Structure 1
Amino acid sequence: MISVVPPDWRFMFVGTHQSVRSVGRSYATKHQQAVGKLDLLILPAPWEIDSKEKVHRVLTDVRFYDEFLPGVEWLLKYEYDSILCANSATSLNEWLDWDWAGAPRTVDDRFSGNGGLSIRRVSTIRRVLKFQERYNDTAPEDEWFGTRVWVLPGAKVASGKEGQLAVEDQYIPNAMGFHVRDGGNGIVDSVWKDPGQRKAIFDYCPELSLIMDMKLERERCAGDNLDGTVEEKHEGAGEGN
């Protein structure tokens, strides 16, 4: 991700003691820290992020932005199952006139803001949090913000495929990035079922192999074909599809 985004963007890894310790061992991590591109943050008590609900609570609490992101105006949030594509001709800086953009769930999604890979304007988030408070154990943070950001006067929010930053449930060619949900265990047929489209996706964004469960060639089951067909062998006859 660091190699793809514009050089003036900085990165913050927010994690638990265990995850920060694990990530911090990497030489590449230490290098990015040394050159000022990456910060590792362990949220102090009483903050907790060991469940999805607790992450939702953090991201809908204005104190998180005040205490840990002072002076930040745009936030690119991405989860472990997201990737930006180096072949994309679109720069992240081209999204700075949007208040929120992500991935649509349907073709005519009113708020295309799935938060797995999304850009948010922090001042817009603050506008919402000044007069709204999320109740615990309710909607996920991206859906919660969506119902509110979408109706803010003057806010520019992605809707349908207009302003689609990433591919998740709706395919667009040459996307800036992909969110594949749970390492590929939650992918949808409309994006991934067609063999030709699937090949085009991997040719365009080979970085997807970093975040998706992939089989080595020697691990493929007998009869597997890349084109999605099934091989059959009949006694006394040649092989056919």
Structure 2
Amino acid sequence: MPSYFPCRVKLVATLIASISNTQFNTSKLALLVETRPLSVLAPLMLHFISVVPPDWPFLFMGSHESIEAINNSFAIRQRVIEGKLALTPIPANMSVQGQEMVSRFFTTLYLYEEVLHPVEWLLVFQTDSIICANSKRELDDYLEYDWVGAPWSPNSAWGGNGGLSLRRVSRIIDVLRNYTRPHNAEPEDVWLTECLTHHPEAKLANGTVSLTFSGELHSGVPEKVDKMRSNGTLGDTKNVRGIDDWREGFYEPMGYHTGGGGVWLHAPIWGTPELRRHIWSYCPEVKMTLDMDVERYMPGNCRSRWGR
């Protein structure tokens, strides 16, 4: 048992156990881990709460500074009172600063086996990820899979970026009981999904399915709009001619993960003004996750005045 966990295990276990007295599902949990006191924390958390199916509870793990920042929001405090959201510090001598420390955090058996018990489905999201309110898909559509995230290859049979990912906890526990990730090895999402490929009962989403879950590096199948059939029914898609025409021809994943805190925008998804205009219409909330500064777009002397 790692020495840095017991001081917080009882607290987190109590928070999760309290969910059982509410309308929320104790086998599901959405988790955001962030130590920086970012201004986006409260609006991002409230957005995820609004678009994830209502039986999912949420847990925020952070530093004292980031917990204070998110707790400044009245709406956040209300979600805590309702039991929808719990806030708890990361153990004092545990770090998530940098990719390696994040990987150590998410490959620690005790985290999954004890701290998050009895969670079975874990949504991990970061401040550079979003789920789109206009999506025709929802998180529960993917519960049959043990891991789903934005694919590293559209033709892959497994894998997916962990920054916005759905994980089956019992499968990860099986992996971590049999394997230990070496320090400075592959990132946690790569290492865990590689290990899951050796699990005889694991079901990993392939590239095609993963592209419908989250967009990051690669574009997926564009939307089609059906015409109404003579018997009054629609075709195979959920799009209706005359209502959803604006969707036609564009890739619309359930959500997006950018990477690098909203800095890394990859060309297949973001590379043209037309693609970006559609994303602003389909998923305007993604702008919360992007590194945007309108100063650079100010004409003439306005730019210098804006920067003061």
- Code of the aligned partner of 1:175: P
1:111 counterpart residue number: 158
What secondary structure, in the 3-state scheme, does the structure 1 residue paired with 2:158 have? coil
What is the CA deviation profile of residues 23-45 of structure 1, one whole-angstrom value per residue up to 9, with x for unaligned ones?
Answer: 22221211110111111121224
1:232 counterpart residue number: none
Deviation at 1:184, TM superposition (A): 3.2
Give distance in 1, aligned partners of 2:270 and 2:95.
35
Give distance in 1, aligned partners of 2:76 and 2:114.
24
TM-score (norm 1): 0.86
Which runs of 5 or more residues in structure 1 are unaligned?
224-241
Q: Which runs of 4+ in 1 moved over 4 A?
A: none
Q: Does 1:61 align with 2:139?
A: no
Q: CA RMSD in A?
A: 1.8
Give distance in 2, aligned partners of 1:50 and 1:139.
16
Which runs of 5 or more residues in structure 2 are unaligned?
1-47, 221-250, 301-308
Candidates 189, 192, 205, aligned match of 2:267:
189
Deviation at 1:215, TM superposition (A): 4.4
Alpha carbons 2:59, 2:86 under 8 Å: kept: yes
Candidates 131, 146, 166, aligned match of 1:99:
146
Give distance in 2, aligned partners of 1:7 and 1:107.
31
What is the CA deviation profile of residues 160-212 of structure 1, one whole-angstrom value per residue up to 9, with x for unaligned ones?
Answer: 22333100001232211000112432111111112212211111001011111
Q: Does 1:85 align with 2:132?
A: yes
Give distance in 1, aligned partners of 2:134 and 2:58.
21
Give distance in 1, aligned partners of 2:91 and 2:70.
18
Give distance in 2, aligned partners of 1:135 and 1:112.
19
Alpha carbons 2:147, 2:203 under 8 Å: kept: yes
Deviation at 1:9, TM superposition (A): 0.2
TM-score (norm 2): 0.68
Give distance in 2, aligned partners of 1:163 and 1:198.
21
1:5 counterpart residue number: 52
Deviation at 1:112, TM superposition (A): 3.5
1:34 counterpart residue number: 81
